[in-house]
Amino acid sequence: MDDKSSISFIHFSDTHIGNHKSFQLYKRNTFETSAKLINHINKTGAAADFVIHSGDIVNSPDDDSIQLAKSLFSKLIKPSYFINGNHDTPSMVENLQTGFSESIANAGVSRFFTLNNIIFLILDTQGPREIDPHGVFSEKQEKALSDFLSRSTGREIVLFCHFPPVSIDSPWVDRDMLMINGDRLHKLLVQSEARILGVFFGHIHHHFTELRDGILYTSAPSPFSRFSILPTDQQVRIESGIPISFNYVTISRDSVRVKLITIEENNFSQNQ
Ligand SMILES: [Fe+2]
């Protein structure tokens, strides 16, 4: 780390904005829950350096949904970064970003930005429709990331992606939702374990943390729904009466701290 003693970011995921404000998914209004989340972040997130949305921004990437998402997420005061989820398209995600400082051209690794000498790498692992809702870590990306890790020796790296790269000990997730070749990504990261500060993802609509071979994997919740991820869950079970929540991540010289923050909705006035 360079000049600052720590970097903080707010991580949330899977907002599934629909084509109108009253759109519901799993019996919950996705626009309203996201609006409350954004309002809360703008009021309380002053110390954060940026916001990251790890994908499934919209439920379906039609023009009306994209415009509604754009109008909503443009209200975020902090620099905001977005990952392409399996419900999104790369071009709409490009349009939502509010400030990349650098990019990797023709490398198959989407984008990165640097803060405090830390590299924040955003990996787009959306695959063809046939494998949905899996993602895939392609051979091209593996080569590009391997080269990138070689070129950036000595620099600390944070990785963002939509799909879980590793199994999470929940049968339906491990069968249906993982990043294909995520084990290859994991092996690559383990080779640079000392400088990989964490892998942050979404897609499973649930907070999750695992330290595997020295690599920290953490997912952020969805504001409007939660998928059950128990070791006994053979099929997805959806909980929608859940509190709006997000992760608050702080990286300092000696730790990576992840706080699951829950919003008390009664704190909001009628004009949200
Ligand atoms: Fe997803």
- The verdict on residue 200 lying in a domain is yes
Number of C-beta neighbours around residue 119 at 10 A: 19
pLDDT above 80: residue 226: yes
Q: What pLDDT is stored for residue 15 in this prediction? A: 98
With CA atoms as reference, report the closest residue to 83 among 219, 197, 251.
219
The DSSP secondary-structure symbol of 51 reads: E
Distance 117 CA to ligand 1 centre (A): 30
Distance 5 CA to ligand 1 centre (A): 34
pLDDT above 60: residue 270: no
Share of the chain above pLDDT 70, in %: 92
pLDDT digits 0-9 by tens, 84-94 = 999 999 889 88
The domain in which residue 253 lies consists of 6-267
- The verdict on residue 272 lying in a domain is no
Give residue 246's pLDDT band: very low, low, confident or very high (50, 70, 90).
very high
- Mean pLDDT throughout 57-85? 95
Q: Is 170 exposed, middle or buried (0-12, 13-18, 19+ CB in 10 A)?
A: buried
Distance 10 CA to ligand 1 centre (A): 19
Q: What pLDDT is stored for residue 88 in this prediction? A: 95
- Mean pLDDT throughout 206-217? 98
- Which helix (H) or strand (E) segment holds residue 143: the answer is helix 139-151
Q: Which residue has the higher pLDDT, 119 or 265?
A: 119
CA distance 144 to 108: 6
Distance 164 CA to ligand 1 centre (A): 10
- The verdict on residue 248 lying in a domain is yes
Distance 203 CA to ligand 1 centre (A): 4
Q: What pLDDT is stored for residue 112 in this prediction? A: 87
- The verdict on residue 57 lying in a domain is yes
pLDDT above 90: residue 220: yes
Q: What is the CATH number of the domain that holds 221?
A: 3.60.21.10
Cβ within 8 Å of residue 192, ≥6 positions away: 149, 157
Split into its structural domains, the chain has a count of 1
CA dist 4 → 8, 10, 49, 251 (Å): 11, 17, 11, 10
pLDDT above 60: residue 16: yes
Distance 190 CA to ligand 1 centre (A): 25
- The verdict on residue 186 lying in a domain is yes
Q: Which residues, listed in sequence order, are joined to residue 20 by a DSSP beta bridge? A: none
Q: What pLDDT is stored for residue 110 in this prediction? A: 65
Give the pTM: 0.94
Q: Which residues, listed in sequence order, are joined to residue 196 by a DSSP beta bridge? A: 157
CA distance 186 to 201: 14
Q: Is 152 exposed, middle or buried (0-12, 13-18, 19+ CB in 10 A)?
A: middle
Distance 11 CA to ligand 1 centre (A): 15
- The verdict on residue 118 lying in a domain is yes
Distance 9 CA to ligand 1 centre (A): 21
- Mean pLDDT throughout 147-172? 95
Distance 6 CA to ligand 1 centre (A): 30
Give residue 103's pLDDT band: very low, low, confident or very high (50, 70, 90).
low
Q: Which residue has the higher pLDDT, 239 or 55?
A: 55
What is the radius of gyration, based on Cα positions, of the chain? 17
Distance 4 CA to ligand 1 centre (A): 34
Q: What pLDDT is stored for residue 1 in this prediction? A: 64
- The verdict on residue 66 lying in a domain is yes
Q: What pLDDT is stored for residue 100 in this prediction? A: 66
- Mean pLDDT throughout 71-89? 95
pLDDT above 70: residue 139: yes
Q: What does the mean pLDDT of the chain come to?
A: 92
- The verdict on residue 1 lying in a domain is no
pLDDT above 70: residue 249: yes
Q: What pLDDT is stored for residue 269 in this prediction? A: 45
Distance 183 CA to ligand 1 centre (A): 19
